[in-house]
Structure 1
């Protein structure tokens, strides 16, 4: 069970990536049904300021002695350097040896690599630093095209916002879909994005404008049972079909059809975990319409059949027929 989270910060760390950890694990969301986390901000010298890479300072309340009993030890991005603090590396090694889950956000993967935790392991980092990470740690199994990699007790994420994807994935893995969806809704982000970071390589990040699809995506999540066409969604977004299709891919990393299928599978997974609905009823409630179509997409995305998934993760028993 994921209860205690230690965020380990070093000099010149990135405040956004650190903020992702704070937002997911440090905010009390018990009123939304999410268990409270014991969130600790840890530095080598508690009570002393640590510089960010944007000119601000942070004073960690905890030292590295608050890390040993943490279930999750997370390292946000920081400016790259030749050497990392030996005490931090020793702390990460000790945490890994006792079985804690270790996570990095963006270039935090270099800290994990320096601790020897990525040797022979599947991992990722920001696409700009991917080759440099591989050059420094040639035994790693790097995938530069994904948003995050879950290699069991080691989770690494790509650039910046993909840290949100990795954190929500871990919450979903450890606490279930309902908790991950509740956090995502409060953060106003998709519970799970499709696609990888290949789409961002050498391309500009789309400008944030009033044409953002956030409101439409929320509406689609609330109407998963509705059949949607590109023309109808484009009208609702007040865009031409061509502009809508281009902006949808820019904001979500995938097409409307693939995004909708993914969200329907996520909703079906939550229903399988938390309700006694039959597979046929889950298919209807999640917008697939038929159990056969649900089984096809569920197995393709999750890797197992709906009934097998329920046997493993379900908290409610299916109603006998």
Structure 2
């Protein structure tokens, strides 16, 4: 039985506990439950959450857990000396030590993140880097594994972190089955960006949203302005004007962003040759895809794949 402990403190962000559901559902998929979940705090007893309700906890005295996960808060987390001492102990006694969202501040305060590649919620990444300059911040990643230390972005990224842990423990097939059971669109790789091209464009009207959805579903095609305008039930001229007004981008630039996002996901999660990725995502050839990656990420596709593979070498 693997013991999974969620370390919490007053006013921790309640959504971090969504990661616990991954381990709960993993127990349903195996003949005998493999995970035992605990909620621990410095004092024990009821601890108020960010929503105001309280969660009953055990006082931490030992760190003999397989995995300790430090939950985040709704801002910068100032950990008590007792919590700092505990996570330092957990680093030596637990197989994995992890943080969700701004829980990374706790690990950084303890000196655990010095020299390590880490991530956290995008809104706090640069602040954490400034406070702890020895940290090697990767501010746009979903989660990162550096040795025995795992860190994730904010909010739902904790679910991706937990799924990756289950994959390490029980295999990729079970992790995919859990993602499906949890009604996730797809299981995000650790190297995947926290940012979504569709969210960044934030189209307001149904017509422009329909055009974007059409583009996303047909990236393998040429996707002319005329096609997108037809999907939006507008003339090409009306469409181009409305699209730029709502998204701040030209249709061509938006389509490139969607292609790059889809290609990056394929590079991170599969081993398809670059030519196949370029073809499936609508780039005419690998050179055009390479130039688009350099514009978007400052790195060629091969570097993106290499970074994603390093994420799992823990």
Please give the range of the TM-score, normalised by the shorter of the 2 chains: 0.5 to 0.7
Asked if 2 retains the 8 angstrom alpha-carbon contact of 1:9 and 1:42, the reply is yes
Aligned equivalent of 1:251: none
Which residue among 79, 82, 85 is the counterpart of 1:84?
Answer: 79
Aligned equivalent of 2:56: 59
Output the aligned Cα RMSD.
4.9
Give 1:136 deviation, angstroms.
Answer: 2.3
Task: Indicate how the Cα distance of structure 1 residues 75 and 82 shifts in structure 2: closer, same or farther if over 3 A, else same.
Answer: closer
Task: Indicate how the Cα distance of structure 1 residues 263 and 131 shifts in structure 2: closer, same or farther if over 3 A, else same.
Answer: closer
- Shifted more, 101-110 versus 2-11: the winner is 2-11
Structure 2's unaligned 5+ residue stretches are 248-255, 281-285, 287-300, 308-312
Task: Indicate how the Cα distance of structure 1 residues 107 and 32 shifts in structure 2: closer, same or farther if over 3 A, else same.
Answer: same
Aligned equivalent of 1:133: 128
Task: Indicate how the Cα distance of structure 1 residues 127 and 204 shifts in structure 2: closer, same or farther if over 3 A, else same.
Answer: same
Give 1:16 deviation, angstroms.
Answer: 0.7
1:18 aligns with 2:17: yes
Counterparts of 1:5 and 1:32, CA distance in 2: 17
What do residues 25-48 of structure 1 show as CA deviations (whole Å, max 9, x unaligned)?
2335433789631111112233x2
Which residue among 62, 69, 91 is the counterpart of 2:65?
Answer: 69
* Structure 1 SS opposite 2:38: strand
Matches within 5 A, 1:1-321: 3-19=2-18, 21-31=19-29, 36-46=34-44, 48-60=45-57, 62-65=58-61, 67-70=63-66, 72-80=67-75, 83-185=78-180, 186-192=182-188, 195-197=192-194, 257=259, 303=306
Counterparts of 1:260 and 1:151, CA distance in 2: 26
Rg (Cα) greater in structure = 2
What do residues 228-279 of structure 1 show as CA deviations (whole Å, max 9, x unaligned)?
8869xx9xx9999998xx8xxxxxxx9665666677678867xxxxxxxxx9
Task: Indicate how the Cα distance of structure 1 residues 30 and 59 shifts in structure 2: closer, same or farther if over 3 A, else same.
Answer: same
Asked if 2 retains the 8 angstrom alpha-carbon contact of 1:80 and 1:110, the reply is no
- TM-score in terms of structure 1 length: 0.62
Counterparts of 1:152 and 1:174, CA distance in 2: 15
* Structure 2 SS opposite 1:181: helix
Counterparts of 1:169 and 1:24, CA distance in 2: 10
Task: Indicate how the Cα distance of structure 1 residues 264 and 58 shifts in structure 2: closer, same or farther if over 3 A, else same.
Answer: same
Task: Indicate how the Cα distance of structure 1 residues 38 and 268 shifts in structure 2: closer, same or farther if over 3 A, else same.
Answer: same
Counterparts of 2:47 and 2:204, CA distance in 1: 31
Counterparts of 2:269 and 2:116, CA distance in 1: 31
* Structure 2 SS opposite 1:27: helix
Task: Indicate how the Cα distance of structure 1 residues 37 and 228 shifts in structure 2: closer, same or farther if over 3 A, else same.
Answer: farther
Counterparts of 2:146 and 2:95, CA distance in 1: 13
Asked if 2 retains the 8 angstrom alpha-carbon contact of 1:32 and 1:182, the reply is no
- TM-score in terms of structure 2 length: 0.63
Give 1:51 deviation, angstroms.
Answer: 0.9
